[in-house]
């Protein structure tokens, strides 16, 4: 059975009442958005002939998603974070602010307030016996001039793909650091090569991905926030080359310019340079920032982030 009711005065009036358009008060922007969203949902129900069974299973799915706090996990899985990036890239292009190291999605696992240091930080707490990683690079402007005293915030997963704070078995701020670049614009971190993240297998996000025939895996990756007054704030990540999911990230964060080689270094002299007495794996990621004098470009956009309100 396929009936068409969207064009009727009854449905039009219902949508207006739903969004409070027939009332004074409330928030005009919210009213406009809710009116459009509900119109489009009704339209989908009509166009796809959604059955009551399908409708109610979607409602209870949303309940499940919220119960486990997984909405911000499903969003990147459905390409929404990537779509916002596509829009911000297009806005930058239009404003003449394109270039520099590309942005990519933040993800939901940042925690504010990581320990800050100058030039170098040890990121892991030494409890996991992973491959030692030296992560280093230089932050420059678009002419290649080094930018000393740039704040480079770095965070990544452990050997099980888990993040400290969200995984209470890890120590506080494990694998999270804020490093100020040295006089040459360089930051260096000693850590462990991370494993890729996977959505909780029994969670609501994975349940929907299963229905789509998709996996919920991310490659081994490392997150960055990079900020320096006078430059656009950069939110980005690197994905390590050679991971099964480097080019098959369920969260769509991979960009060719952000794929980095992880290079095994066996040379004892090179190890000594970093105070190590064993072979290690080096990951080099240089970062180029784009100048902007607009304060709104110099800050990351607002969203709910763990501990951020406590710190500000």
Residues that bind ligand BEZ (CB under 6 A): 73, 76, 107-109, 197, 218, 251
What's the min distance (Å) between Cβ of 237 and ligand BEZ? 7
- Residue 73 binds which of ligand BEZ, Fe ion, none (CB < 5-8 A, kind-dependent): ligand BEZ
Contact 124, 154 (CB under 8 A): no
- Residue 251 binds which of ligand BEZ, Fe ion, none (CB < 5-8 A, kind-dependent): ligand BEZ
Which residue lies nearer to Fe ion by CB, 107 or 137?
A: 107
User: How many angstroms from the chain centroid is the CA of residue 58?
Assistant: 26
Contact 19, 41 (CB under 8 A): no
Contact 152, 181 (CB under 8 A): yes
- Determine the Cα–Cα distance for residues 227 and 235; give it in Å rounded to an integer: 9
Candidates 24-32, 102-110, 198-206, 255-263; binding stretch for Fe ion (CB under 5 A): 102-110
Q: Which of 76, 77, 100, 107 binds Fe ion (CB under 5 A)?
A: 107
Phi, psi at 14, each rounded to 5°: -60, -45
Which residue lies nearer to ligand BEZ by CB, 108 or 137?
A: 108
| Sign of the Cα pseudo-torsion (291, 295, 300, 306, in order) | positive
Q: At what angle do helices 204-211 and 52-67 cross, to 10 degrees?
A: 140
Instruction: Name 234's bridge partners.
Output: 226
What's the min distance (Å) between Cβ of 166 and ligand BEZ? 10
Candidates 37-45, 84-92, 107-115, 257-265; binding stretch for Fe ion (CB under 5 A): 107-115
What's the min distance (Å) between Cβ of 187 and ligand BEZ? 20
- Determine the Cα–Cα distance for residues 274 and 25; give it in Å rounded to an integer: 62
Which residue lies nearer to ligand BEZ by CB, 155 or 231?
A: 155
- Determine the Cα–Cα distance for residues 114 and 111; give it in Å rounded to an integer: 7
User: Which residue, judged by CB position, is nearest to Fe ion in the bound state?
Assistant: 107
Which residue lies nearer to ligand BEZ by CB, 15 or 189?
A: 189
Does 216 bind Fe ion (CB under 5 A)? Our answer is no
Contact 199, 209 (CB under 8 A): yes
Which residue lies nearer to Fe ion by CB, 92 or 106?
A: 106
């Amino acid at each position: 059975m396929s009936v068409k009711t969207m064009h009727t005065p009854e449905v039009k009036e219902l949508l207006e009442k739903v969004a409070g358009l027939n009332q004074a008060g409330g928030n005009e922007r919210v009213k406009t958005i809710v009116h459009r969203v509900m119109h489009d949902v009704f339209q989908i129900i009509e166009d796809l002939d959604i059955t009551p069974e399908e409708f109610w299973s979607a409602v209870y799915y949303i309940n499940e998603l919220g119960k486990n706090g997984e909405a911000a996990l499903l969003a990147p899985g459905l390409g929404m974070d990537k779509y916002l990036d596509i829009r911000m890239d297009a806005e930058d292009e239009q404003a003449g602010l394109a270039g520099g190291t590309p942005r990519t999605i933040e993800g939901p696992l940042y925690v504010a307030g990581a320990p800050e240091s100058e030039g170098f930080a040890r990121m892991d707490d030494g409890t996991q016996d992973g491959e030692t990683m030296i992560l280093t690079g230089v932050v420059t402007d678009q002419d290649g001039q080094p930018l000393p005293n740039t704040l480079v915030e770095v965070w990544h997963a452990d050997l099980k793909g888990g993040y400290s704070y969200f995984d209470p078995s890890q120590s506080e701020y494990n694998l999270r650091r804020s490093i100020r670049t040295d006089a040459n614009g360089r930051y260096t971190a000693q850590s462990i090569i991370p494993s890729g993240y996977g959505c909780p297998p029994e969670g609501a996000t994975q349940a929907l991905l299963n229905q789509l025939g998709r996996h919920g895996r991310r490659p081994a990756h490392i997150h960055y926030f990079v900020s320096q007054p006078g430059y656009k704030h950069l939110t980005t990540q690197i994905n390590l080359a050679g991971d099964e999911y480097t080019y098959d990230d369920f969260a769509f964060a991979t960009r060719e310019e952000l794929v980095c080689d992880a290079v095994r270094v066996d040379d004892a002299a090179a190890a000594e340079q970093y105070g190590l007495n064993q072979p290690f794996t080096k990951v080099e990621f240089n970062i180029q920032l784009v100048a902007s004098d607009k304060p709104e470009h110099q800050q990351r956009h607002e969203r709910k982030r763990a501990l951020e309100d406590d710190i500000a």
